[in-house]
Amino acid sequence: MLEAFNFKLNKKNLVILFLFSFFLRLIVFLTFIRPEERYRQPDSTDYHVYAITMALGRGMCRLDNLKPVFWRTPGYPLYLSWFYDFFGIQNARFSDSQQAQTAALLVQILLCSFIPILIFFLALFLTKTASIAWLTAWISAIHLGFVLSDTYLLTESISMVFLIPFFIYFFKSFYTSLTTMPKPVPWAKNIILAAILLAIFTWIRPMGQFVAAASAVFIIIFDRVNWKMKLKKIAVFSLVFLSLIGGWYVRNYNLTGYCFYCPMFGTYLNTFCAPKIVRAKTGKNLVDSIRHQYSLTGIQGKKDYQVATAKGKAYVGSFSHLKVAIPVLLAHPFLFIKDWLVEVARTTFELYSCQLVEFAKKTFHFDPPEEHITEKFADCLYKQKMHPIMRFIVYLELLFEILKWIGLIAGAFLFLFYPLFKRFRVPAYIKRTGLLWLKLTPMVVAFVMMTGGFGYARLRLPVEALMIILSLTFWYWVLQRKKLSRQKGHLKGKKSQNGQK
């Protein structure tokens, strides 16, 4: 298969990839997603409301009292507001803005159809192998997670238009550490472009702050330059990044008196993490445990609201959630870590096809307080009634995930652990690819570890391409070994024939 995907790098092949991606997403959107407003996911209503307030010139605020909102970032609502402003706003009902939403999603589909091309160049840069790059790109073109996310009124897909190039320029900025022999590189240009792209990503998805912090750690650990140069790179990256998102810090500080970018961490912990600990310790069910935490938050919120209004500042409810959740988490850290890792495992292994189950149940507008991966797999594979085509897609994805994880598990052993035991007799491909695994694996782990409150397959979408690339490096090694063994057998056969003559 890898040999079959060894296409030439030219405009024709790239255009074919783009057109295939675009029309596949367009067909899925027009025939499957749009008719029942399946693009309306649990967080979509928030983006809809803030797009309205932005289009009305009110900024990020609530519709009922026009108080400022802090727990969403403005990038995606701003994008939607352009379409709401163009088509006009009749009222605040979600469905009454379908024309603007459809136009916004069609443009989003157009932009996201470039993602497979961006992934191609990322894979080509990282592996230097055209067949791996093309196969990764075509997988992403038909990948269920990418296709569905591109059609949702959500931030995951459109943010990747900036995240994938960030990966390219970031890894280019310390290209020397991806090769066995150091080379001088134009690091300043690459690190600045990486910071700009990550800043745009962060305006859309606040997790970019954590990616920026992780990037600094990556430079310290993996860049094979002296400490002075490492600190210089971190300083340039941080300066560009913070200067581009700093305006939102200033806005929030002026309104509240606190310096923060997006405070949703408190609400996240108090909704998904602390109640599970309360359940374990009190025997209450999860819904009652959530109500218990929210009742304490209400008491704390009244105090915080009085303090904020006395200072003439806006009240930030997420801080009240944080004050209530933190004591519970600190009192039972092992329970917190265990529950967090369970949700991380859900993000890591859950099928994107689980979304098809929600479509079949007609429950895609909201998320339950808790889900279990075993139940979701059962619903996907046999339990939930769904259209035969949907079930067929489920099993196709399951097959793909099995092959992907065989490549990841076997590749981890081959490229990360095997060289430790064969230090002086490691083939060049394994040594070179091992360096690649050392760079990409922590990046993948860093992304999925952020999702421990509520695991969800689409939360690993930002690093899905990296996981596919790593898996294919193993399968490429397997196929190359088979090819070499066949060639050796062919040569031996010729020698034996010559000897007989």
**What is the full per-residue pLDDT of the chain (501 aa) written as tens digits?**
555 566 678 899 999 999 999 999 999 999 999 999 999 998 999 999 999 999 999 999 888 888 899 989 999 999 999 999 999 998 899 999 999 999 999 999 999 999 999 999 999 999 999 999 999 999 999 999 999 999 999 999 999 999 999 999 998 887 544 444 455 567 889 999 999 999 999 999 999 999 999 999 988 888 878 888 899 999 999 999 999 999 999 999 999 999 999 888 888 899 999 999 999 999 999 999 999 999 999 999 999 999 999 999 999 989 999 999 999 999 999 999 999 999 999 999 999 999 999 999 888 888 888 888 899 999 999 999 999 999 999 999 999 999 999 999 999 999 988 887 776 677 888 888 988 998 899 889 989 998 888 888 999 999 999 999 999 999 999 988 876 556 555 545 555 555 555
pLDDT at 224 (0 to 100): 78
Find out whether 106 and 120 touch, Cβ atoms under 8 Å: no
pLDDT at 192: 96
How much is the pLDDT for 179?
Answer: 42
Q: How far apart are CA 323 and CA 240, in angstroms?
A: 32
Distance CA 135, CA 123 (A): 9
Helices 274-282, 333-349: axis angle to 10 degrees equals 120
Paired tokens of 362? 């007609």
| pLDDT tens-digit readout, 176-210 | 444 444 555 678 899 999 999 999 999 999 999 99
Supply the pTM of this predicted model. 0.92
Residue 257 near residue 304, CB atoms below 8 Å:
no
Per-residue DSSP letter, 127? H
CB 153 within 8 A of CB 48: yes
- Neighbouring-strand partners of residue 163: none
What sign for the dihedral angle of Cα 193, 127, 21, 149? negative
468 and 476 Cβ atoms separated by less than 8 Å: no
Residues 3-36, buried b or exposed e (16+ Cβ, 10 A)? eebebeeeeeebeebbeebbebbbebbeebbbee
Q: Please state the three-class secondary structure of 35-99 as a single string.
A: CCCCCCCCCHHHHHHHHHHHHCCCCCECCCCCCECCCCCCHHHHHHHHHHHHHCCCCCCHHHHHH
